C-alpha cells in the first residue's frame, strides 16, 4: 500500500482507511509511513537513464535553492529542431491519430481500455470513453500532430500512444505556453523495451515544432522531480457495490446496512439556486474561476474559450453546476466533475466502476463543504458509484468531513523544462489533469 511506484490515479480505496468509523490502527499507520519514506529514498537514489538526460529538475539539485526558477534550457531556433521523427525499432512505424475518425478513435479506445493504467493489485483499469478522449484531445487550438500512435508495420495494429494538448499554465506570476502530456501507453506485450523514452522524445520534438518549450504531466511513478505529490481520496456513493467488487472493505464493527446508512445522501441538492451550467454562464464562470485560481502557485490560465470547452457540461464526460443567487442572479459558486469509469477485472457480477472525479470548484458565497455535498448528491443522482478527489486546491478542507477516505498510491505532478524553486504543497496546486 502506498507504494510510490504504484500506478497513477490508482483508483482504489486504501482498506486501512475505509471510513471514519474504521480508524487506522496507529501502528499500521506508522509502519506505512516508515515504508513510504524508505521507498522514497530508494527511488530518489535510483538511476533514470532517460530522465537524467532531460531538462527536468534532477534529484541531485533538489536542495539547491540557488538555482533560478524558470526554463532550464532556452528555446532553440526552430530551424534547429530535428525535422524527421525519431527512429523506432524496424517493425514499427509512427502514425498520427485523427480523433475525428471513428475508426482511429475506436483503435485508441481499445488500446487504452486493454493496456492503460491499473491499480497496484490489477483489480481495476481506467476505461476512458471515446467521447471523453475526443473532448480531452481537442481543446481550443489543439494540434493533430500531437496525437501520436505507433503501429506494427505488418499488421497495422496500434501498439502505443502518447498525446499533448496546448495549455497556458501560470507559475506564480508568469503565464507559460505548455503542452499537457497524457495517455502515454505501451501495449502490455511491448513493455520494458525502452519504447516510452522514444515516445516522449517524439512528442517533445513535435511540441518544439510549434515553438512551445514547456510541458506539464502527472504520473504514479516517481521521476525526476515532482513539483508536488498528491493523494486521491474516495467518497463512496454506492458502498455495497464498492465492497462487492473489492474497491473498499467493510469497516471494523460495521455491517453492510450501517455502512449504507453512513454514506446515504439527500435526494436533491440543498443550496437554493444550484443548477446545471449553461452556455450563457461562460463569461460569469470564467470570471469566477480566473479570480479563484489566481491564489495558487501553479494553475491554468483559462479564457472563455477554455471554459466553454473544459467546463460546459458534456453528457457522460464532464458535469458542471453553479449557484445562481435567487435574489441578485449573480453566479456565486461553481463545482464540476468528470466521468472516468474503470473496468473491473475478473468480477462475475460487475464489469464497470462508475467514478466521478472532482475537477474545478469555486465557492464564494456557499460554504465549500455544502457546495461539495451538493456535488456528491448530483453525482449520486447520476448513478456514480464513487466520487474521487485529489488533495489539491482547498479540497483538504472538506474531504474528511464529507466522508472521503484516502486512496492507495500517489499522483506526482511534473513540469518539463521548467524549474520551480521549491516543492509545492498539494494545496498550492490549482491544476487538475485528466
Residues 338, 390: Cα–Cα separation, whole Å? 13
Q: Which is nearer to ligand COA, 250 or 433 (CB)?
A: 433
Q: Does 215 bind ligand COA (CB under 6 A)?
A: no
Give Cα separations from 57 to 11, 227, 411, 417 (angstroms): 28, 9, 17, 8
Q: Which is nearer to ligand COA, 35 or 190 (CB)?
A: 190
Q: Does 116 bind ligand COA (CB under 6 A)?
A: yes
The one among 35, 44, 88, 196 contacting ligand COA by CB under 6 A: 196
Cα dihedral sign for 242, 243, 249, 251? Answer: positive
Residues 272, 404: Cα–Cα separation, whole Å? 25
Residues 218, 207: Cα–Cα separation, whole Å? 17
Q: Which is nearer to ligand COA, 8 or 426 (CB)?
A: 8
Q: Does 56 bind ligand COA (CB under 6 A)?
A: no
Give Cα separations from 392 to 138, 156, 169, 307, 404 (angstroms): 25, 41, 16, 19, 14
Q: Which is nearer to ligand COA, 51 or 350 (CB)?
A: 51
The one among 97, 136, 184, 353 contacting ligand COA by CB under 6 A: 184
- Cβ 342 vs Cβ 384: under 8 Å: no
Cα dihedral 332→391→376→216 (10° resolution): 80
Q: Which helix (H) or strand (E) holds 202?
A: helix 195-208
Residue 104 in grid coordinates:
482511429
Residues 117, 7: Cα–Cα separation, whole Å? 6
Considering only 44-52, 166-174, 278-286, 324-332, which stretch makes contact with ligand COA by CB under 6 A? 44-52
> DSSP assignment of 120-176, as one string?
TTSSEEE---HHHHHHHH--TT--GGGEEEEEETTT--EEEEEEEEEEEEEETTEEE
Q: How far is the CB of 150 from ligand COA (least distance, A)?
A: 11
Residues 302, 55: Cα–Cα separation, whole Å? 26
Place of cell 480508524: 23
Q: Does 86 bind ligand COA (CB under 6 A)?
A: no
Considering only 100-108, 133-141, 179-187, 425-433, which stretch makes contact with ligand COA by CB under 6 A? 179-187
The one among 105, 108, 117, 335 contacting ligand COA by CB under 6 A: 117
Considering only 57-65, 166-174, 218-226, 384-392, which stretch makes contact with ligand COA by CB under 6 A? 218-226
CA nearest 412: which of 247, 216, 234? Answer: 216
Active site residue 434: yes
Q: Does 8 bind ligand COA (CB under 6 A)?
A: yes
The one among 5, 24, 50, 142 contacting ligand COA by CB under 6 A: 50
Residue 324 in grid coordinates:
445562481
Enumerate residues 346-405 that contact ligand COA by CB under 6 A. Answer: none
The one among 42, 175, 221, 369 contacting ligand COA by CB under 6 A: 221
Q: Is 357 helix (H, G, I), strand (E, B) or coil?
A: strand
Q: How far is the CB of 214 from ligand COA (least distance, A)?
A: 16
The one among 65, 192, 257, 348 contacting ligand COA by CB under 6 A: 192
Q: Does 223 bind ligand COA (CB under 6 A)?
A: yes
Q: Is the peptide bond between 389 and the residue preceding it cis, with omega within 30 degrees of 0? A: no
Q: Which is nearer to ligand COA, 50 or 263 (CB)?
A: 50
Q: Does 219 bind ligand COA (CB under 6 A)?
A: yes
The one among 123, 167, 185, 207 contacting ligand COA by CB under 6 A: 185
The one among 5, 39, 48, 94 contacting ligand COA by CB under 6 A: 48
Place of cell 481500455: 113
Quick one: DSSP state of residue 98? -
Q: With CB under 6 A as the rule, give the number of residues binding ligand COA.
A: 22
Considering only 192-200, 227-235, 306-314, 365-373, which stretch makes contact with ligand COA by CB under 6 A? 192-200
Residue ranges binding ligand COA (CB under 6 A): 7-8, 48-51, 115-117, 184-186, 191-197, 219, 221, 223
Which residues have a catalytic role annotated? 434
Amino acid at each position: 500500500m502506498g507504494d510510490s511506484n504504484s500506478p497513477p490515479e490508482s483508483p482504489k480505496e486504501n482498506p486501512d482507511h475505509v471510513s471514519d468509523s474504521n480508524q487506522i490502527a496507529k501502528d499500521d499507520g506508522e509502519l506505512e509511513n516508515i515504508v513510504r519514506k524508505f521507498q522514497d529514498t530508494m527511488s530518489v537514489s535510483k538511476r533514470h537513464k532517460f530522465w537524467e538526460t532531460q531538462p527536468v529538475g534532477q534529484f541531485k539539485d533538489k536542495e539547491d535553492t540557488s538555482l533560478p526558477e524558470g526554463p532550464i534550457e532556452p528555446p532553440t531556433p526552430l530551424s534547429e529542431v530535428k525535422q524527421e521523427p525519431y527512429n523506432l525499432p524496424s517493425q514499427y512505424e509512427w502514425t498520427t491519430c485523427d480523433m475525428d475518425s471513428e475508426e482511429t478513435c475506436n483503435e485508441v479506445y481499445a488500446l487504452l481500455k486493454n493496456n492503460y493504467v491499473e491499480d497496484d493489485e490489477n483489480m481495476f483499469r481506467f476505461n476512458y470513453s471515446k467521447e471523453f478522449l475526443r473532448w480531452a484531445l481537442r481543446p481550443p487550438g489543439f494540434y493533430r500532430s500531437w496525437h501520436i500512435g505507433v503501429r506494427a508495420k505488418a499488421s497495422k495494429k496500434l501498439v502505443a500512444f502518447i498525446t499533448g494538448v496546448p495549455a497556458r499554465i501560470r507559475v506564480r506570476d508568469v503565464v507559460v505556453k505548455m503542452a499537457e502530456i497524457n495517455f502515454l501507453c505501451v501495449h502490455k506485450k511491448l513493455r520494458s523495451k525502452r519504447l516510452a523514452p522514444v515516445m516522449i522524445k517524439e512528442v517533445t520534438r513535435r511540441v518544439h515544432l510549434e515553438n512551445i518549450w514547456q510541458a506539464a504531466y502527472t504520473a504514479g511513478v516517481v521521476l525526476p522531480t515532482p513539483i508536488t505529490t498528491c493523494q486521491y481520496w474516495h467518497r463512496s456513493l454506492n458502498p455495497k457495490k464498492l465492497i462487492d467488487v473489492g474497491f473498499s472493505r467493510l469497516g471494523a464493527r460495521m455491517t453492510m446496512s450501517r455502512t449504507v446508512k453512513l454514506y446515504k445522501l439527500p435526494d436533491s441538492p440543498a443550496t437554493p439556486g444550484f443548477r446545471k451550467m449553461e452556455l450563457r454562464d461562460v463569461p460569469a464562470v470564467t470570471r469566477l474561476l480566473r479570480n479563484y485560481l489566481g491564489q495558487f502557485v501553479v494553475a491554468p490560465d483559462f479564457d472563455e474559450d477554455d471554459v466553454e470547452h473544459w467546463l460546459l457540461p458534456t453528457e457522460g464526460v464532464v458535469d458542471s453546476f453553479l449557484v445562481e443567487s435567487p435574489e441578485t442572479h449573480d453566479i456565486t459558486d461553481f463545482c464540476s466533475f468528470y466521468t472516468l469509469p474503470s473496468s473491473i477485472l475478473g468480477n462475475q457480477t460487475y464489469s464497470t466502476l462508475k467514478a466521478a472525479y472532482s475537477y474545478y470548484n469555486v465557492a464564494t458565497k456557499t460554504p465549500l463543504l455544502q457546495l461539495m455535498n451538493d456535488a456528491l448528491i448530483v453525482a449520486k443522482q447520476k448513478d456514480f458509484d464513487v466520487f474521487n478527489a485529489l488533495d489539491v486546491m482547498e479540497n483538504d478542507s472538506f474531504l474528511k468531513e464529507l466522508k472521503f477516505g484516502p486512496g492507495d498510491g500517489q499522483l506526482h505532478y511534473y513540469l518539463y523544462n521548467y524549474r520551480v524553486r521549491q516543492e509545492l504543497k498539494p494545496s498550492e496546486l490549482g491544476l487538475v489533469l485528466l
